[in-house]
């Protein structure tokens, strides 16, 4: 085989030491079945502390709201509920997420209800004193009606804005401003109606802040949105409303891969394969959105930028340090001058390095027409481990059962197939290079799957088992574990119950 095109994961402690506990991981899968999700709740708390440290470094007050939608687990939510009440809250996007957060120990005053909401979700949020992050003027009317009709206490609300002018484009007719379109939030241009509705409903809702969430990695675009929100908050104040918090949403991102060069090499090779100057890198020549048009690569690769020099708390730091495009001062300075609190809603980045997904190797066979390539069938399907669905390309780590066998230590290219009778059920459409050919009984560990990959798309097609999730914590040289639903944040790292 030519040079293996690895995309090796970035793995930090304690996830790195968990991966070395191979006997422990094998015994968990023996007992609980494949697939199996493993979470380290301690890491989510450490990540929250890192985000808070960035806010503090910029002298900003505020809160980290965990975007619950990234993971269904209870252990992560309960671990965060045990954190400082002033520093850590939760962002819930459905009635069930709200019920879950309450049951895990979050009180209403630490909860932010986001996304489009139905009446039941709005009522429970208002009833428990959560902050309602309003998606639209219609939602405001509905909430106001509920509060009046049921005699509820006045509700704290944020208004989510969207449609920020994001980039100047020089065209034949002069400079034009582009606005990113979103299905969510109220376009800034239409905010006038929202302001008058807020004034009209002052007796039942109090505007405590302004929010945005942009699904992009572009930091300039976010700085622009942040500044437009600060200006909008000035406008609110001029009208006698008093918003004091700016909620800048999530999207701080995760660096999945250890090595920038491996990422560069792989993406270059994909373009070459699409052009036909090298053999395909993917199942049946899939191009991840790229195509060959007369010898030129066209299209946009639908891939997550899996190697990122700055992500998570570092990305927040970059955003806060960046000069606001019009006012010129760093975003953090703008917030400070106005005495605004900063809320953030990280999902993916808050669960960075928090867990992994394990799959048993069921079967290994030659991949047919392709020489030296193998098809590895796993005890999991594409719904159980949906990094591919989110465009994240990253190699699994091979955890052999027992020691390596002689003569099998050659790097090899494999396709990873799932356990459904469905041609499309591939864990990834990419040819994955592994340091040796796996054998039935080995485990593959997909690392860093806690954000959107381990249970977001899980289903019960063909009545295949749903993955169980366990929470683990280091205990001496070993690990202790329990089912995710049985985890409560009561044990100290020494292993004694506090
Ligand atoms: C999904 C979402 C988030 C979290 O986004 P990440 O990219 O996971 O950080 C935060 N806020 C809102 C409103 C969302 O919809």
Domain annotation for the chain: domains and CATH numbers: 15-40+354-486 (2.40.37.10), 41-253+308-344 (3.20.20.10), 260-298 (no CATH)
pLDDT tens sequence across 53-73: 999 999 999 999 999 999 999
Q: Which of 70, 184, 209 to mutate to test the pocket of ligand 1 (most atoms within 8 A of CB)?
A: 70
Q: Which of 63, 67, 115, 312 to mutate to test the pocket of ligand 1 (most atoms within 8 A of CB)?
A: 67
Nearest residue (CA) to ligand 1, atom 5: 250
Could you tell me the distance, in angstroms and rounded to a whole number, from the CA of residue 38 to the centre of ligand 1?
22
- Tell which atom from ligand 1 comes closest to the C-alpha of 452: 8
Could you tell me the distance, in angstroms and rounded to a whole number, from the CA of residue 83 to the centre of ligand 1?
20
Q: Which of 161, 182, 250, 344 to mutate to test the pocket of ligand 1 (most atoms within 8 A of CB)?
A: 250
Q: Which of 91, 111, 247, 451 to mutate to test the pocket of ligand 1 (most atoms within 8 A of CB)?
A: 91
Q: What is the pLDDT of residue 494?
A: 45
Q: What is the pLDDT of residue 183?
A: 83
Q: Which two tokens stand for residue 256?
A: 């999945």
Could you tell me the distance, in angstroms and rounded to a whole number, from the CA of residue 242 to the centre of ligand 1?
25
Q: Which residues surround ligand 1 with Cβ inside 6 Å?
A: 67, 69-70, 91, 114, 213, 249-252, 345-349
Could you tell me the distance, in angstroms and rounded to a whole number, from the CA of residue 297 to the centre of ligand 1?
32
Residues of the chain with pLDDT under 50: 493-498
- Tell which atom from ligand 1 comes closest to the C-alpha of 346: 9
Report the greatest alpha carbon distance in the chain: 77
Q: Which of 64, 183, 249, 354 to mutate to test the pocket of ligand 1 (most atoms within 8 A of CB)?
A: 249
Rounding to the nearest 10 degrees, give the CA dihedral for residues 356, 362, 368, 374. 40
Q: What is the pLDDT of residue 128?
A: 98
pLDDT tens sequence across 224-270: 999 999 999 999 999 999 999 999 999 999 999 999 999 999 999 99
| CA 196/CA 75 separation, integer angstroms | 42
| CA 85/CA 106 separation, integer angstroms | 9
Q: Which two tokens stand for residue 259?
A: 């090595």
Count CB atoms within 10 A of the CB of residue 197.
17
Could you tell me the distance, in angstroms and rounded to a whole number, from the CA of residue 201 to the centre of ligand 1?
28
Q: What is the pLDDT of residue 165?
A: 80
Could you tell me the distance, in angstroms and rounded to a whole number, from the CA of residue 76 to the centre of ligand 1?
16
Could you tell me the distance, in angstroms and rounded to a whole number, from the CA of residue 131 to the centre of ligand 1?
16
- Tell which atom from ligand 1 comes closest to the C-alpha of 114: 13
Nearest residue (CA) to ligand 1, atom 10: 250
């Amino acid at each position: 085989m030519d040079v293996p095109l690895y995309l090796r994961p970035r793995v930090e402690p304690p996830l790195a030491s968990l991966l070395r506990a191979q006997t422990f991981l094998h015994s968990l899968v023996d007992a609980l079945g494949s697939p199996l999700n493993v979470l380290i709740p301690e890491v989510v708390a450490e990540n929250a502390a890192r985000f808070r440290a960035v806010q503090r470094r910029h002298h900003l007050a505020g809160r980290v709201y965990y975007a619950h939608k990234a993971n269904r687990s209870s252990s992560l939510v309960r671990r965060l509920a045990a954190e400082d009440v002033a520093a850590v809250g939760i962002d819930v996007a459905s009635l069930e997420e709200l019920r879950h957060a309450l049951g895990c120990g979050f009180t209403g005053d630490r909860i932010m209800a986001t996304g489009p909401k139905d009446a039941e979700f709005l009522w429970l949020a208002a009833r428990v004193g959560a902050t309602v992050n309003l998606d639209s003027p219609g939602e405001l009317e509905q909430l106001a009606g509920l509060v009046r009709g049921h005699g509820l206490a006045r509700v704290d609300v944020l208004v989510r804005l969207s449609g920020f002018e994001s980039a100047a484009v020089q065209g034949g007719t002069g400079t034009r401003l582009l606005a990113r379109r979103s299905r969510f939030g109220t376009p800034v241009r239409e905010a006038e109606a929202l302001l008058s509705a807020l004034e009209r409903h002052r007796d039942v809702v109090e505007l405590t802040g302004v929010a945005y969430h942009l699904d992009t990695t572009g930091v300039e675009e976010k700085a622009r949105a942040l500044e437009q929100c600060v200006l909008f908050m000035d406008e609110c104040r001029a009208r006698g409303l008093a918003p004091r918090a700016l909620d800048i949403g999530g999207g701080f991102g995760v660096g999945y891969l250890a090595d920038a060069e491996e990422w560069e090499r792989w993406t270059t090779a994909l373009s070459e394969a699409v052009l036909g100057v090298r053999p395909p890198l993917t199942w049946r020549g899939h191009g991840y959105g790229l195509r060959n048009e007369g010898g030129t690569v066209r299209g946009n690769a639908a891939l997550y930028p899996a190697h990122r020099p700055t992500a998570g708390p570092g990305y927040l730091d970059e955003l806060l340090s960046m000069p606001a495009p019009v006012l010129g001062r760093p975003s953090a300075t703008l917030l400070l001058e106005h005495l605004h609190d900063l809320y953030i809603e990280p999902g993916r980045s808050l669960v960075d390095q928090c867990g992994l997904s394990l799959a048993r190797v069921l079967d290994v066979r030659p991949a047919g027409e392709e020489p030296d390539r193998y098809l590895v069938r796993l005890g999991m399907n594409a719904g159980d481990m949906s990094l591919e669905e989110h465009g994240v390309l990253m190699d699994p780590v091979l955890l052999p059962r027992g020691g390596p066998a002689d003569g099998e230590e050659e790097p090899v290219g494999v396709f990873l197939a799932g356990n459904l009778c469905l041609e499309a059920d591939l864990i990834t459409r990419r040819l994955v290079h592994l340091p040796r050919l796996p054998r039935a009984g080995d485990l593959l560990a997909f690392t860093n799957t806690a954000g959107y990959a381990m249970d977001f798309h899980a289903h019960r097609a063909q009545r295949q088992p749903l993955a169980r999730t366990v929470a683990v914590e280091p205990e001496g040289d070993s690990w202790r574990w329990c089912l995710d639903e049985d985890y409560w944040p009561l044990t100290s790292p020494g292993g004694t119950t506090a």
